Structure 1
Amino acid sequence: MSAAIVSIAAMTSSAHASTDFNQLKTLSQSEFSQLAKDFTAAGSYKAITPATPLGITGFDLGGEISVTQLENSAVWKKAGANISSLPMPKLHLTKGLPFNIDIGASLVAVPDSNIKLMGLEARYAIFEGGVATPAVGVRAAYSKLSGVDQLGFNAKSVELVASKGFLMVTPYIGVGRVWGSVTPNIGSLQKVSPTSSKVFAGINANFGLFNLAGEVDRIGNNDTVSVKFGFRW
Protein backbone atom coordinates (compact mmCIF):
# COMPACT_ATOMS: atom_id res chain seq x y z
CA MET A 1 0.00 0.00 0.00
CA SER A 2 2.81 2.44 0.88
CA ALA A 3 4.53 1.65 -2.43
CA ALA A 4 1.35 2.58 -4.29
CA ILE A 5 1.15 5.90 -2.44
CA VAL A 6 4.79 6.71 -3.25
CA SER A 7 4.19 5.86 -6.92
CA ILE A 8 1.11 8.10 -6.98
CA ALA A 9 3.06 11.03 -5.54
CA ALA A 10 5.93 10.61 -8.01
CA MET A 11 3.71 10.34 -11.08
CA THR A 12 1.43 13.17 -9.99
CA SER A 13 4.36 15.53 -9.58
CA SER A 14 5.58 14.67 -13.09
CA ALA A 15 2.09 15.35 -14.44
CA HIS A 16 1.77 18.83 -12.92
CA ALA A 17 1.24 20.66 -16.21
CA SER A 18 -1.64 21.74 -18.40
CA THR A 19 -3.69 18.78 -19.62
CA ASP A 20 -6.01 20.68 -21.96
CA PHE A 21 -6.50 19.46 -25.53
CA ASN A 22 -6.40 22.58 -27.69
CA GLN A 23 -4.35 21.41 -30.66
CA LEU A 24 -6.10 18.21 -31.76
CA LYS A 25 -6.25 19.54 -35.33
CA THR A 26 -2.46 19.15 -35.58
CA LEU A 27 -2.68 15.35 -35.16
CA SER A 28 -2.75 12.78 -37.92
CA GLN A 29 -5.40 10.03 -37.75
CA SER A 30 -2.74 7.57 -36.55
CA GLU A 31 -1.62 9.95 -33.81
CA PHE A 32 -5.21 10.55 -32.73
CA SER A 33 -5.69 6.77 -32.44
CA GLN A 34 -2.67 6.62 -30.12
CA LEU A 35 -4.04 9.41 -27.95
CA ALA A 36 -7.44 7.68 -27.88
CA LYS A 37 -5.91 4.46 -26.51
CA ASP A 38 -4.18 6.38 -23.72
CA PHE A 39 -7.32 8.34 -22.84
CA THR A 40 -9.48 5.21 -22.77
CA ALA A 41 -7.07 3.56 -20.33
CA ALA A 42 -7.06 6.64 -18.08
CA GLY A 43 -10.73 7.60 -18.35
CA SER A 44 -12.40 4.20 -18.06
CA TYR A 45 -14.05 3.36 -14.73
CA LYS A 46 -11.86 2.08 -11.90
CA ALA A 47 -13.80 0.60 -8.99
CA ILE A 48 -10.79 -0.05 -6.69
CA THR A 49 -12.73 -2.47 -4.51
CA PRO A 50 -12.91 -6.21 -3.76
CA ALA A 51 -15.67 -8.57 -4.86
CA THR A 52 -17.34 -8.71 -1.43
CA PRO A 53 -20.84 -7.13 -1.55
CA LEU A 54 -21.62 -4.22 0.77
CA GLY A 55 -24.97 -5.61 1.88
CA ILE A 56 -28.31 -3.82 2.09
CA THR A 57 -27.14 -1.35 4.78
CA GLY A 58 -23.67 -0.84 3.31
CA PHE A 59 -22.06 2.30 1.92
CA ASP A 60 -18.64 3.10 0.44
CA LEU A 61 -17.86 6.80 0.03
CA GLY A 62 -14.78 8.97 -0.17
CA GLY A 63 -12.06 10.13 -2.53
CA GLU A 64 -9.42 8.54 -4.70
CA ILE A 65 -6.77 9.30 -7.25
CA SER A 66 -5.63 7.24 -10.22
CA VAL A 67 -2.52 8.10 -12.24
CA THR A 68 -2.07 6.56 -15.69
CA GLN A 69 1.28 6.44 -17.48
CA LEU A 70 0.84 7.66 -21.07
CA GLU A 71 2.37 5.43 -23.72
CA ASN A 72 2.23 8.23 -26.30
CA SER A 73 3.24 11.36 -24.37
CA ALA A 74 4.80 12.95 -27.48
CA VAL A 75 1.38 12.84 -29.17
CA TRP A 76 -0.26 14.42 -26.11
CA LYS A 77 2.31 17.21 -26.20
CA LYS A 78 1.54 17.85 -29.86
CA ALA A 79 -2.17 17.99 -28.98
CA GLY A 80 -1.50 20.68 -26.35
CA ALA A 81 -1.07 18.60 -23.17
CA ASN A 82 2.58 18.50 -22.12
CA ILE A 83 2.37 15.56 -19.72
CA SER A 84 3.73 12.03 -19.35
CA SER A 85 1.08 10.78 -16.92
CA LEU A 86 -2.56 11.70 -16.33
CA PRO A 87 -3.94 12.04 -12.77
CA MET A 88 -7.65 11.46 -12.20
CA PRO A 89 -8.88 12.69 -8.77
CA LYS A 90 -12.31 11.30 -8.02
CA LEU A 91 -15.18 11.38 -5.55
CA HIS A 92 -17.19 8.16 -5.27
CA LEU A 93 -20.31 6.81 -3.62
CA THR A 94 -21.42 3.17 -3.66
CA LYS A 95 -24.55 1.70 -2.07
CA GLY A 96 -25.33 -1.91 -1.25
CA LEU A 97 -28.67 -3.34 -2.36
CA PRO A 98 -30.46 -6.65 -1.76
CA PHE A 99 -29.47 -9.84 -3.60
CA ASN A 100 -25.69 -9.12 -3.48
CA ILE A 101 -26.00 -6.11 -5.80
CA ASP A 102 -24.07 -2.84 -5.38
CA ILE A 103 -24.46 0.33 -7.45
CA GLY A 104 -22.11 3.30 -7.55
CA ALA A 105 -21.30 6.65 -9.10
CA SER A 106 -18.20 8.83 -9.36
CA LEU A 107 -17.13 12.30 -10.45
CA VAL A 108 -13.67 13.20 -11.78
CA ALA A 109 -12.16 16.67 -12.21
CA VAL A 110 -8.59 16.69 -13.58
CA PRO A 111 -6.29 19.42 -12.17
CA ASP A 112 -5.13 22.20 -14.53
CA SER A 113 -7.66 21.02 -17.08
CA ASN A 114 -11.28 21.25 -18.21
CA ILE A 115 -11.53 17.43 -18.21
CA LYS A 116 -14.48 16.11 -16.19
CA LEU A 117 -15.80 12.55 -16.10
CA MET A 118 -18.95 11.00 -14.69
CA GLY A 119 -18.97 7.27 -13.96
CA LEU A 120 -21.61 4.68 -13.12
CA GLU A 121 -21.22 1.05 -12.06
CA ALA A 122 -23.23 -2.01 -11.06
CA ARG A 123 -21.82 -5.10 -9.34
CA TYR A 124 -23.15 -8.54 -8.56
CA ALA A 125 -21.46 -10.95 -6.16
CA ILE A 126 -21.84 -14.46 -7.57
CA PHE A 127 -20.32 -15.84 -4.36
CA GLU A 128 -20.31 -13.72 -1.19
CA GLY A 129 -17.25 -15.45 0.20
CA GLY A 130 -16.70 -16.78 3.70
CA VAL A 131 -14.08 -17.87 6.20
CA ALA A 132 -12.64 -20.49 3.85
CA THR A 133 -13.93 -19.36 0.45
CA PRO A 134 -13.27 -16.31 -1.75
CA ALA A 135 -15.85 -13.84 -2.97
CA VAL A 136 -16.37 -13.73 -6.74
CA GLY A 137 -18.24 -11.00 -8.56
CA VAL A 138 -18.90 -9.33 -11.89
CA ARG A 139 -18.99 -5.60 -12.60
CA ALA A 140 -20.22 -3.41 -15.44
CA ALA A 141 -19.32 0.27 -15.67
CA TYR A 142 -19.68 3.34 -17.86
CA SER A 143 -17.84 6.66 -17.92
CA LYS A 144 -18.45 9.80 -19.98
CA LEU A 145 -16.38 12.94 -20.60
CA SER A 146 -17.61 16.52 -20.37
CA GLY A 147 -15.94 19.92 -20.46
CA VAL A 148 -13.65 19.37 -23.47
CA ASP A 149 -14.92 21.13 -26.59
CA GLN A 150 -12.58 19.35 -29.00
CA LEU A 151 -13.15 15.82 -27.70
CA GLY A 152 -16.03 13.46 -26.96
CA PHE A 153 -15.42 10.28 -24.97
CA ASN A 154 -17.18 7.41 -23.28
CA ALA A 155 -16.06 3.97 -22.14
CA LYS A 156 -17.84 0.77 -21.18
CA SER A 157 -16.24 -2.06 -19.25
CA VAL A 158 -16.98 -5.46 -17.74
CA GLU A 159 -14.87 -7.20 -15.10
CA LEU A 160 -14.60 -10.47 -13.21
CA VAL A 161 -13.04 -10.07 -9.76
CA ALA A 162 -12.16 -12.43 -6.91
CA SER A 163 -11.17 -11.49 -3.36
CA LYS A 164 -10.44 -13.14 -0.02
CA GLY A 165 -10.53 -11.39 3.35
CA PHE A 166 -7.94 -11.92 6.09
CA LEU A 167 -8.90 -10.03 9.25
CA MET A 168 -8.95 -6.32 8.23
CA VAL A 169 -7.24 -6.86 4.86
CA THR A 170 -8.80 -8.10 1.61
CA PRO A 171 -6.56 -8.66 -1.42
CA TYR A 172 -8.23 -9.03 -4.82
CA ILE A 173 -7.46 -9.72 -8.47
CA GLY A 174 -9.46 -9.39 -11.65
CA VAL A 175 -9.66 -9.36 -15.43
CA GLY A 176 -11.86 -7.41 -17.77
CA ARG A 177 -12.50 -5.78 -21.12
CA VAL A 178 -12.75 -2.07 -21.94
CA TRP A 179 -14.49 -0.51 -24.96
CA GLY A 180 -13.77 3.16 -25.65
CA SER A 181 -15.37 5.64 -28.03
CA VAL A 182 -13.28 8.77 -28.71
CA THR A 183 -14.71 11.40 -31.05
CA PRO A 184 -12.77 14.46 -32.29
CA ASN A 185 -14.97 17.53 -32.65
CA ILE A 186 -12.56 19.40 -34.88
CA GLY A 187 -10.88 19.07 -38.28
CA SER A 188 -11.02 15.97 -40.46
CA LEU A 189 -10.14 13.43 -37.76
CA GLN A 190 -12.40 10.40 -37.45
CA LYS A 191 -13.87 8.67 -34.40
CA VAL A 192 -11.74 5.91 -32.85
CA SER A 193 -13.04 2.98 -30.77
CA PRO A 194 -10.16 1.41 -28.80
CA THR A 195 -10.81 -2.01 -27.27
CA SER A 196 -8.38 -3.46 -24.73
CA SER A 197 -8.07 -6.21 -22.16
CA LYS A 198 -7.67 -5.26 -18.50
CA VAL A 199 -5.89 -7.00 -15.63
CA PHE A 200 -5.72 -5.63 -12.11
CA ALA A 201 -4.82 -6.44 -8.52
CA GLY A 202 -5.31 -4.56 -5.29
CA ILE A 203 -5.72 -4.66 -1.56
CA ASN A 204 -8.43 -3.18 0.66
CA ALA A 205 -7.84 -2.43 4.35
CA ASN A 206 -10.77 -1.61 6.61
CA PHE A 207 -10.30 -0.03 10.05
CA GLY A 208 -13.82 0.10 11.41
CA LEU A 209 -15.48 2.85 9.38
CA PHE A 210 -12.28 4.16 7.79
CA ASN A 211 -11.17 2.40 4.61
CA LEU A 212 -7.99 2.50 2.49
CA ALA A 213 -7.41 0.68 -0.81
CA GLY A 214 -4.66 0.53 -3.42
CA GLU A 215 -4.74 -0.96 -6.91
CA VAL A 216 -2.58 -1.38 -9.99
CA ASP A 217 -4.07 -2.14 -13.39
CA ARG A 218 -2.99 -2.54 -16.99
CA ILE A 219 -5.31 -1.67 -19.87
CA GLY A 220 -3.66 -2.40 -23.20
CA ASN A 221 -0.12 -1.05 -22.73
CA ASN A 222 -1.02 1.57 -20.12
CA ASP A 223 -0.32 1.09 -16.42
CA THR A 224 -2.34 2.84 -13.72
CA VAL A 225 -1.75 3.15 -9.97
CA SER A 226 -4.74 4.07 -7.77
CA VAL A 227 -5.31 4.88 -4.11
CA LYS A 228 -8.77 5.19 -2.53
CA PHE A 229 -9.60 6.47 0.94
CA GLY A 230 -12.83 7.09 2.76
CA PHE A 231 -15.50 5.25 4.71
CA ARG A 232 -16.91 1.77 4.12
CA TRP A 233 -19.42 -0.21 6.15
Structure 2
Amino acid sequence: MRTFSRWMALAVLVGGPTAYADRNDIVLSQLGNGSTANADFQAFSRTLAAVVTSATLTPPKSLGHAGFAVNAELGVVGLPSDTYLPTEREQTGSVLVPSIHVRKGLPFSIDLGARVGWLDRSSLFAATGEIRWAVNEGFIAWLPDIALRLHATQLLNTRNMHLTATGLDASVGKQFPIGGMVTLTPYGGIDLTGVRSRADAVRLADNAVVTYEELKGFSNINTRFYAGGRFIGGALQLGAEVSMATLGSVDGPRRGVATGSTEPAGALSSVLAFNATLGLDF
Protein backbone atom coordinates (compact mmCIF):
# COMPACT_ATOMS: atom_id res chain seq x y z
CA MET A 1 0.00 0.00 0.00
CA ARG A 2 2.86 2.33 0.88
CA THR A 3 4.52 1.62 -2.49
CA PHE A 4 1.27 2.39 -4.31
CA SER A 5 0.98 5.72 -2.46
CA ARG A 6 4.50 6.65 -3.48
CA TRP A 7 3.74 5.93 -7.14
CA MET A 8 0.57 8.03 -6.92
CA ALA A 9 2.49 10.96 -5.42
CA LEU A 10 5.09 10.68 -8.19
CA ALA A 11 2.36 10.69 -10.86
CA VAL A 12 0.83 13.85 -9.38
CA LEU A 13 4.20 15.61 -9.27
CA VAL A 14 5.04 14.68 -12.86
CA GLY A 15 1.58 15.07 -14.36
CA GLY A 16 0.45 18.15 -12.40
CA PRO A 17 2.34 20.82 -14.41
CA THR A 18 1.31 19.21 -17.68
CA ALA A 19 -2.36 19.17 -16.71
CA TYR A 20 -2.24 22.77 -15.54
CA ALA A 21 -1.27 24.25 -18.92
CA ASP A 22 -4.03 23.51 -21.41
CA ARG A 23 -3.95 24.36 -25.09
CA ASN A 24 -5.86 27.68 -24.83
CA ASP A 25 -4.02 29.03 -21.78
CA ILE A 26 -2.24 32.34 -22.36
CA VAL A 27 1.57 32.42 -22.66
CA LEU A 28 2.38 36.11 -23.14
CA SER A 29 6.12 35.47 -23.31
CA GLN A 30 5.54 34.06 -26.81
CA LEU A 31 4.96 37.64 -28.01
CA GLY A 32 8.65 38.31 -27.41
CA ASN A 33 10.19 41.78 -27.53
CA GLY A 34 10.44 42.41 -31.28
CA SER A 35 9.11 45.18 -33.50
CA THR A 36 5.65 43.58 -33.68
CA ALA A 37 5.25 42.70 -29.97
CA ASN A 38 3.05 45.65 -28.90
CA ALA A 39 0.80 45.41 -31.97
CA ASP A 40 0.48 41.65 -31.43
CA PHE A 41 -0.56 42.26 -27.80
CA GLN A 42 -3.18 44.80 -28.90
CA ALA A 43 -4.53 42.47 -31.59
CA PHE A 44 -4.67 39.50 -29.20
CA SER A 45 -6.41 41.57 -26.51
CA ARG A 46 -9.11 42.83 -28.86
CA THR A 47 -9.63 39.34 -30.31
CA LEU A 48 -9.93 37.81 -26.83
CA ALA A 49 -12.40 40.53 -25.83
CA ALA A 50 -14.49 39.72 -28.91
CA VAL A 51 -14.51 36.04 -27.90
CA VAL A 52 -15.75 36.62 -24.34
CA THR A 53 -18.39 39.18 -25.43
CA SER A 54 -19.65 37.27 -28.48
CA ALA A 55 -23.19 36.60 -27.16
CA THR A 56 -26.27 38.63 -26.29
CA LEU A 57 -28.84 35.82 -26.60
CA THR A 58 -31.73 37.84 -25.21
CA PRO A 59 -34.45 39.64 -27.18
CA PRO A 60 -35.27 43.24 -26.22
CA LYS A 61 -38.46 42.40 -24.30
CA SER A 62 -38.01 42.47 -20.51
CA LEU A 63 -38.81 39.61 -18.13
CA GLY A 64 -41.34 41.68 -16.16
CA HIS A 65 -40.90 42.80 -12.55
CA ALA A 66 -41.50 39.28 -11.16
CA GLY A 67 -39.70 37.39 -13.91
CA PHE A 68 -36.63 35.18 -13.56
CA ALA A 69 -34.66 33.22 -16.19
CA VAL A 70 -31.71 30.86 -16.11
CA ASN A 71 -30.03 29.58 -19.27
CA ALA A 72 -27.24 27.26 -20.31
CA GLU A 73 -25.43 28.73 -23.33
CA LEU A 74 -22.82 27.54 -25.80
CA GLY A 75 -20.82 29.69 -28.19
CA VAL A 76 -18.66 28.58 -31.13
CA VAL A 77 -16.32 31.46 -31.91
CA GLY A 78 -14.10 31.58 -34.99
CA LEU A 79 -10.52 32.76 -34.45
CA PRO A 80 -8.82 34.91 -37.12
CA SER A 81 -6.03 33.07 -38.92
CA ASP A 82 -3.97 36.25 -39.42
CA THR A 83 -3.85 37.25 -35.73
CA TYR A 84 -1.07 35.76 -33.61
CA LEU A 85 -2.57 34.18 -30.49
CA PRO A 86 0.01 33.48 -27.74
CA THR A 87 -1.56 30.34 -26.35
CA GLU A 88 -0.07 27.11 -25.07
CA ARG A 89 -0.67 25.33 -28.40
CA GLU A 90 -1.45 26.44 -31.94
CA GLN A 91 -5.10 27.27 -32.50
CA THR A 92 -7.39 25.04 -34.54
CA GLY A 93 -9.63 27.82 -35.89
CA SER A 94 -12.40 28.08 -33.28
CA VAL A 95 -13.02 27.93 -29.56
CA LEU A 96 -16.03 26.78 -27.53
CA VAL A 97 -17.41 29.06 -24.81
CA PRO A 98 -20.01 27.38 -22.55
CA SER A 99 -21.68 29.64 -19.99
CA ILE A 100 -24.47 30.03 -17.46
CA HIS A 101 -26.67 33.13 -17.77
CA VAL A 102 -29.05 34.30 -15.02
CA ARG A 103 -31.47 37.26 -15.34
CA LYS A 104 -33.93 38.86 -12.93
CA GLY A 105 -36.73 41.22 -13.88
CA LEU A 106 -37.27 44.49 -12.01
CA PRO A 107 -39.91 47.23 -12.21
CA PHE A 108 -39.87 49.82 -15.02
CA SER A 109 -38.94 47.23 -17.70
CA ILE A 110 -35.43 46.73 -16.29
CA ASP A 111 -33.58 43.41 -16.14
CA LEU A 112 -30.40 42.62 -14.23
CA GLY A 113 -28.21 39.79 -15.49
CA ALA A 114 -25.02 37.88 -14.78
CA ARG A 115 -23.13 35.45 -16.99
CA VAL A 116 -20.15 33.23 -16.19
CA GLY A 117 -18.39 31.65 -19.16
CA TRP A 118 -15.41 29.34 -19.62
CA LEU A 119 -12.99 29.17 -22.53
CA ASP A 120 -12.80 25.51 -23.49
CA ARG A 121 -9.43 23.82 -22.88
CA SER A 122 -8.13 26.61 -20.70
CA SER A 123 -8.13 27.88 -17.14
CA LEU A 124 -9.77 31.15 -18.26
CA PHE A 125 -13.19 32.34 -17.10
CA ALA A 126 -15.14 35.47 -17.99
CA ALA A 127 -17.66 37.09 -15.62
CA THR A 128 -20.24 39.50 -17.06
CA GLY A 129 -22.66 41.84 -15.34
CA GLU A 130 -25.42 43.59 -17.29
CA ILE A 131 -28.39 45.89 -16.93
CA ARG A 132 -31.04 46.08 -19.67
CA TRP A 133 -33.83 48.62 -20.11
CA ALA A 134 -36.68 47.87 -22.50
CA VAL A 135 -37.37 51.33 -23.90
CA ASN A 136 -40.43 50.06 -25.76
CA GLU A 137 -42.05 46.64 -25.35
CA GLY A 138 -45.49 46.99 -26.84
CA PHE A 139 -46.27 50.39 -25.31
CA ILE A 140 -46.36 51.82 -28.84
CA ALA A 141 -47.99 49.07 -30.88
CA TRP A 142 -46.60 50.01 -34.29
CA LEU A 143 -43.00 50.11 -33.03
CA PRO A 144 -40.83 47.01 -32.46
CA ASP A 145 -39.52 46.21 -29.01
CA ILE A 146 -36.41 48.31 -28.32
CA ALA A 147 -33.86 47.80 -25.53
CA LEU A 148 -30.56 49.24 -24.35
CA ARG A 149 -28.03 47.14 -22.43
CA LEU A 150 -24.95 48.17 -20.45
CA HIS A 151 -22.50 45.35 -19.83
CA ALA A 152 -19.04 44.76 -18.39
CA THR A 153 -16.93 41.61 -18.67
CA GLN A 154 -13.83 40.75 -16.66
CA LEU A 155 -11.41 38.00 -17.70
CA LEU A 156 -10.54 35.82 -14.70
CA ASN A 157 -7.82 33.38 -13.69
CA THR A 158 -5.11 34.88 -15.88
CA ARG A 159 -1.56 34.82 -14.60
CA ASN A 160 -0.23 38.14 -15.93
CA MET A 161 -2.91 39.70 -18.15
CA HIS A 162 -5.81 41.92 -17.06
CA LEU A 163 -8.64 42.45 -19.56
CA THR A 164 -11.94 44.28 -19.14
CA ALA A 165 -14.55 44.80 -21.88
CA THR A 166 -17.32 47.37 -21.28
CA GLY A 167 -20.03 48.21 -23.75
CA LEU A 168 -23.40 49.57 -24.79
CA ASP A 169 -25.79 47.37 -26.76
CA ALA A 170 -28.93 48.46 -28.65
CA SER A 171 -31.39 45.86 -29.95
CA VAL A 172 -34.76 45.67 -31.72
CA GLY A 173 -37.15 42.75 -32.05
CA LYS A 174 -40.78 41.70 -32.22
CA GLN A 175 -42.61 38.92 -30.42
CA PHE A 176 -45.07 36.84 -32.44
CA PRO A 177 -47.56 34.51 -30.71
CA ILE A 178 -47.98 31.06 -32.25
CA GLY A 179 -51.13 29.87 -30.52
CA GLY A 180 -51.54 29.50 -26.79
CA MET A 181 -48.35 29.71 -24.74
CA VAL A 182 -45.85 29.62 -27.64
CA THR A 183 -44.03 32.71 -28.96
CA LEU A 184 -41.25 33.37 -31.47
CA THR A 185 -39.11 36.52 -31.21
CA PRO A 186 -36.66 37.46 -33.97
CA TYR A 187 -34.26 40.25 -32.99
CA GLY A 188 -31.06 42.00 -33.98
CA GLY A 189 -28.74 44.68 -32.71
CA ILE A 190 -25.39 46.39 -32.48
CA ASP A 191 -22.95 46.26 -29.57
CA LEU A 192 -20.12 48.79 -29.09
CA THR A 193 -17.49 47.43 -26.69
CA GLY A 194 -14.43 49.23 -25.34
CA VAL A 195 -11.43 47.04 -24.55
CA ARG A 196 -9.00 47.79 -21.73
CA SER A 197 -6.05 45.43 -21.40
CA ARG A 198 -2.70 45.48 -19.67
CA ALA A 199 -0.01 42.97 -18.85
CA ASP A 200 2.31 42.61 -15.92
CA ALA A 201 6.03 42.58 -16.65
CA VAL A 202 6.77 39.40 -18.62
CA ARG A 203 10.03 37.45 -18.32
CA LEU A 204 11.18 36.01 -21.64
CA ALA A 205 13.19 32.84 -22.27
CA ASP A 206 16.45 34.81 -22.30
CA ASN A 207 15.52 36.33 -18.88
CA ALA A 208 14.83 39.72 -20.43
CA VAL A 209 11.81 41.50 -18.93
CA VAL A 210 9.31 43.27 -21.17
CA THR A 211 6.15 45.31 -20.55
CA TYR A 212 3.61 45.67 -23.37
CA GLU A 213 1.73 48.89 -24.04
CA GLU A 214 -1.65 49.14 -22.32
CA LEU A 215 -4.92 49.36 -24.25
CA LYS A 216 -7.08 52.08 -22.79
CA GLY A 217 -10.83 51.61 -22.70
CA PHE A 218 -12.90 53.42 -25.26
CA SER A 219 -9.99 54.30 -27.53
CA ASN A 220 -10.25 50.64 -28.64
CA ILE A 221 -13.79 49.83 -29.80
CA ASN A 222 -15.04 46.48 -31.06
CA THR A 223 -18.30 46.77 -33.05
CA ARG A 224 -20.47 43.64 -33.03
CA PHE A 225 -23.54 43.11 -35.21
CA TYR A 226 -25.86 40.26 -34.29
CA ALA A 227 -29.18 38.63 -35.20
CA GLY A 228 -31.07 35.81 -33.58
CA GLY A 229 -34.35 34.32 -32.50
CA ARG A 230 -35.95 33.13 -29.27
CA PHE A 231 -38.64 30.45 -28.98
CA ILE A 232 -40.63 30.23 -25.75
CA GLY A 233 -43.10 27.46 -25.00
CA GLY A 234 -44.47 27.68 -21.46
CA ALA A 235 -41.37 28.03 -19.27
CA LEU A 236 -38.99 26.52 -21.85
CA GLN A 237 -36.67 28.81 -23.84
CA LEU A 238 -34.70 27.93 -26.98
CA GLY A 239 -32.61 30.43 -28.87
CA ALA A 240 -29.86 30.89 -31.44
CA GLU A 241 -27.77 33.85 -32.53
CA VAL A 242 -25.09 34.70 -35.07
CA SER A 243 -22.75 37.66 -34.76
CA MET A 244 -19.81 39.39 -36.41
CA ALA A 245 -17.43 41.63 -34.45
CA THR A 246 -15.25 44.07 -36.37
CA LEU A 247 -12.08 44.94 -34.45
CA GLY A 248 -10.73 47.89 -36.40
CA SER A 249 -6.94 48.18 -36.43
CA VAL A 250 -3.95 48.42 -34.12
CA ASP A 251 -0.82 50.56 -34.15
CA GLY A 252 2.01 49.15 -36.22
CA PRO A 253 2.63 45.96 -38.23
CA ARG A 254 1.80 42.58 -36.74
CA ARG A 255 3.53 39.22 -36.86
CA GLY A 256 2.77 37.20 -39.99
CA VAL A 257 1.15 40.08 -41.94
CA ALA A 258 2.81 40.51 -45.32
CA THR A 259 4.42 43.91 -45.81
CA GLY A 260 3.12 44.06 -49.38
CA SER A 261 -0.51 43.55 -48.36
CA THR A 262 -3.07 46.02 -49.72
CA GLU A 263 -4.70 46.16 -46.27
CA PRO A 264 -3.35 48.48 -43.56
CA ALA A 265 -0.57 46.76 -41.62
CA GLY A 266 -2.56 46.89 -38.37
CA ALA A 267 -6.01 45.94 -39.78
CA LEU A 268 -7.68 43.12 -37.82
CA SER A 269 -9.96 40.43 -39.16
CA SER A 270 -13.54 40.11 -37.93
CA VAL A 271 -14.57 37.52 -35.35
CA LEU A 272 -17.59 35.37 -36.27
CA ALA A 273 -19.64 33.51 -33.67
CA PHE A 274 -22.63 31.21 -33.36
CA ASN A 275 -24.39 30.95 -30.00
CA ALA A 276 -27.23 28.77 -28.76
CA THR A 277 -29.20 28.80 -25.49
CA LEU A 278 -31.52 26.50 -23.58
CA GLY A 279 -33.22 27.60 -20.39
CA LEU A 280 -36.24 28.25 -18.24
CA ASP A 281 -38.26 31.47 -17.94
CA PHE A 282 -40.39 31.82 -14.79
TM-score by length of 1: 0.86
- Residue number among 242, 248, 253 corresponding to 1:216 in the alignment: 242
Answer yes or no: is 1:146 the counterpart of 2:156.
yes
Answer yes or no: is 1:202 the counterpart of 2:228.
yes
Q: What is the CA distance between 1:60 and its match in structure 2?
A: 1.4
For residues 168-183 of structure 1, the aligned pairs below 5 Å read 168-183=183-198
- Seen in structure 2, the aligned counterparts of structure 1 residues 115 and 73 have a Cα distance that, compared at 3 Å, is farther
- Identity of counterpart residues, as a percentage? 23
Instruction: Give the structure 2 partner of residue 158 of structure 1.
Output: 168
Instruction: Give the structure 1 partner of residue 26 of structure 2.
Output: 21
- Seen in structure 2, the aligned counterparts of structure 1 residues 230 and 35 have a Cα distance that, compared at 3 Å, is same
Q: What is the CA distance between 1:202 and its match in structure 2?
A: 0.5
Counterpart Cα distance in 2 of 1:226 and 1:18:
22
* Residues 176 and 184 in structure 2, CA contact (< 8 A), matched pair in contact too: yes
Q: What is the CA distance between 1:201 and its match in structure 2?
A: 0.5
For residues 84-99 of structure 1, the aligned pairs below 5 Å read 84-99=93-108
In terms of Rg, which structure is larger? 2
Counterpart Cα distance in 2 of 1:116 and 1:170:
30
Counterpart Cα distance in 2 of 1:104 and 1:225:
21
Q: What is the CA distance between 1:45 and its match in structure 2?
A: 6.4
- Residue number among 107, 123, 145 corresponding to 1:114 in the alignment: 123
TM-score by length of 2: 0.72
Q: Deviations over 1:69-124 (max 9, x none)?
A: 11146612x44242222221101100000000000001112232110111100000
Which one has a larger percent strand, Structure 1 or Structure 2? 1
Q: What is the CA distance between 1:163 and its match in structure 2?
A: 0.7
* Residues 54 and 77 in structure 2, CA contact (< 8 A), matched pair in contact too: no
Q: CA RMSD in A?
A: 1.8
- Residue number among 66, 82, 90 corresponding to 2:90 in the alignment: 82
Counterpart Cα distance in 2 of 1:81 and 1:94:
36
Counterpart Cα distance in 2 of 1:172 and 1:43:
21
Unaligned segments of structure 2, at least 5 residues: 1-21, 32-36, 178-182, 203-209, 247-269
* Residues 99 and 115 in structure 2, CA contact (< 8 A), matched pair in contact too: yes
- Residue number among 24, 29, 49 corresponding to 1:40 in the alignment: 49
Write the letter of the residue equivalent to 2:162.
Answer: G
Write the letter of the residue equivalent to 1:157.
Answer: G
Q: Secondary structure at the match of 1:75?
A: coil
- Residue number among 46, 56, 59 corresponding to 1:50 in the alignment: 59
* Residues 38 and 72 in structure 1, CA contact (< 8 A), matched pair in contact too: no
Answer yes or no: is 1:123 the counterpart of 2:132.
yes
Q: How many residue pairs get matched?
A: 215
Answer yes or no: is 1:230 the counterpart of 2:282.
no
Counterpart Cα distance in 2 of 1:218 and 1:74:
16
- Seen in structure 2, the aligned counterparts of structure 1 residues 229 and 120 have a Cα distance that, compared at 3 Å, is same
Write the letter of the residue equivalent to 2:168.
Answer: V
Unaligned segments of structure 1, at least 5 residues: 1-16
Counterpart Cα distance in 2 of 1:75 and 1:29:
12
* Residues 44 and 142 in structure 1, CA contact (< 8 A), matched pair in contact too: no
Counterpart Cα distance in 2 of 1:146 and 1:224:
21
